[in-house]
Chain A
Amino acid sequence: MIDTVREIETPEGVSLRLRAAGALPRAQAWMVDLLLRFAIFFVALIPLAAFGKGGNGLAMLVMFALLWGYSVVCEVWLGGQTFGKRALGLRVVNADGTPVTWLPSVVRNLLRVVDALPGVYGVGLACTLIDPHARRLGDIVAGTMVIHVADLPAGQEIPALTAVPLPLVLASDEQAALVEFAERAGQLTVQRQEELANLLTPLTGQRDTGAIRQLVAHANWLLGRT
């Protein structure tokens, strides 16, 4: 449940990493959609008032379309994003990572009825907390999931230093850990950087600031810089 990344193997043989969206951003997107639908409904009421009693019927048709049709139409035509989901950077995708199609979208939006009970999305909330990919019941039956569109901010570029070759051969995962340290050091406090770098004093032979610089220099070498 902590790791929300779902790996999907594409026909090309590489794995796509999709990050499942949890209950909170989805609830926010739903709120945006709800407000938007209210706004559309009330704006539509103004011209409909001219029709008198028949306008009531048209207003009910508008309400019906907003209640049952809005999400499906948006998801199918806007690449899996209602306006709320677009605002929050979410997207509905099929199980294979492609934008949601007609029938799955209909299923997940009809089954909203079950997820919305009891209270406000009680079943849906419980289900997103239990499911490893944070899907609600409608998503499970439709075979869809809601993902974050944007990636997490990647590490910064490794600061360029004169490359220093490693004194010994490191295994590939150890090399990767070293490069990752150099990439992400900018996001850590200086104290934490020093603490981590000091673990490798046997390798660098230095402590604190010197150790950090030495590790970054090694990382430069690993990347192939001169």
Chain B
Amino acid sequence: MKQERFVALHSREWDHLQSWLNALDRQAKRTLRQEQALDFPASYRRICHHLALARGRGYSHEVTERLQRIVQQGHRVLYQPPAPRWHRVIAFLVAGFPRLVRAQWRCMLAAAVLFYVPALVTLVLMQLRPELAHTVFSSAQLAQFEKMYDPANAQIGRSSGTDLHMFGFYVMNNVSIAFRSFASGLVFGVGAIYVLGANGLLIGGVAGHLTAIGYGGPFWRFVAAHSAFELTALVIAGGAGLRLGLTLLSPGRQRRGPALVAAGWIGAQLALGAFAMLVVAAFVEAYWSSIASLSDAVKFGSAAVLWVLVLGWLWRGGRAGRHGA
């Protein structure tokens, strides 16, 4: 069949579908309710067939490109991904996320070691040789820490600012650190190792110094509760980064490309979970940890409850019960 006849036969259908697709771009909901929507899959497939014919018969670009445009637009509509659903967010946080963390337990363990070992070592070193604090921190930094955790303060953990102010600050600061430690893991894991180690050193250093100079009381009362979420989330984000770097180094029995895509998929979910944990952590840190007037029993009791909750959630969450899943 010559091109002109082919166009004359079918161009009405092409124009029809094209105008429907254009209308869909402008007013999605109303157009989808039209009766023509029922005909769309069949009509789209016919036009795919026309495109294949046109290419096979070597018709001119004018025709093939016109058809290609319709097919491309139709492909986007027919195979559009399902809209995100909110109940899946909850299912993910309750079950999917802890399952994923357990599935990646080797990376999580490595990340925990990379973070807690430097932290504990500096913490102990600061007790034995308190003057080391001056090699790790500048004296301005030390003065600020001491001001924040001065036992004479009405509110602990901050030198100024309201609860809301600090909430915004904690979200911005902590989540950015967590996201960066995940993303920089792509550089053969070096970034994640650096972020984990440096933060371990820093946190251990502050804790050790404050304990050594006798400000330990307010400090531990402040950090005990929210650290359950905050430190765990940091370790998880770092572990996700390590996973990414490891995959780049040794993709196993897959090609690097697909292996990286799979690792990125897992890593993004872990990072999103860590993000949720850090928002909770920021909330606790801003509104609960800063209250100085509560007794030690309440402070450390609530902290213990939170730690048990977090670890229990990660350990048992999403396990198939007796009902099976």
Q: Are A54 and B162 in contact (CB under 8 A)?
A: yes
Residue A203 lies at the interface, judged by CB distance under 8 Å to chain B = no
B184 contacts partner chain A, Cβ-Cβ < 8 Å: yes
Question: Which 3 residue pairs are nearest across A and B when measured between Cβ atoms?
Answer: A224-B2, A57-B168, A60-B168
- CB-CB under 8 A for A97 and B75, given A53-B161, A68-B179, A158-B60: yes
Q: Does B319 contact A (CB under 8 A)?
A: no
Residues in B whose Cβ lies below 8 Å from that of A175: 58
Query: Would A142 and B176 be within 8 Å (CB), given that A110-B271, A224-B5 are in contact?
Result: no
Determine whether B134 belongs to the interface, using a CB cutoff of 8 Å to chain A. Answer: no
Q: Are B75 and A16 in contact (CB under 8 A)?
A: yes
| Contact of B84 (CB < 8 Å), options: A76, A111, A143, A225 | A76
Q: Contact: A151 with B61, CB < 8 Å?
A: no
Q: Closest chain A residue to B5 by CB distance?
A: A224
Please tell me if the beta carbons of A142 and B264 are within 8 angstroms of each other in the complex: yes
A126 on interface, CB distance cutoff 8 Å: no
The CA of A115 and the CA of B50, in the complex, are separated in Å by 42
Per the bound structure, the CA–CA distance linking A175 and B269 in Å amounts to 53
User: Which listed residue (A98, A104, A107) contacts B75, Cβ 8 A?
Assistant: A98
Q: Is the CB of B260 within 8 A of A140?
A: yes
B168 close to A180 (CB less than 8 A)? no
Contact residues of B between 105 and 147, Cβ < 8 Å to A: none
Query: Given the known A-B contacts A10-B75, A154-B62, are A99 and B80 also in contact in the complex, defined by CB atoms under 8 Å?
Result: yes
CA distance A167 to B143 in the complex (A): 95
B104 on interface, CB distance cutoff 8 Å: no
Q: How far is the CB of A99 from chain B (nearest CB, A)?
A: 6
The reply to whether the CB of A44 lies closer than 8 angstroms to some CB of chain B is no
Of the residues A18, A101, A183, contact of B61 by C-beta under 8 Å: A183
Known contacts A10-B75, A53-B161, A155-B62; decide if A103 and B268 are in contact (CB<8 Å).
Answer: yes
Q: Judging by beta carbons under 8 Å apart, are A58 and B261 in contact?
A: no
Between A and B, 9 residue pairs with Cβ closer than 8 Å are A12-B45, A57-B166, A64-B176, A68-B179, A99-B76, A114-B183, A114-B191, A141-B261, A158-B60
Chain A neighbourhood of B65, CB < 8 A: 151, 154
In the bound complex, do residue B169 and residue A60 qualify as a contact, i.e. CB atoms below 8 Å apart? yes
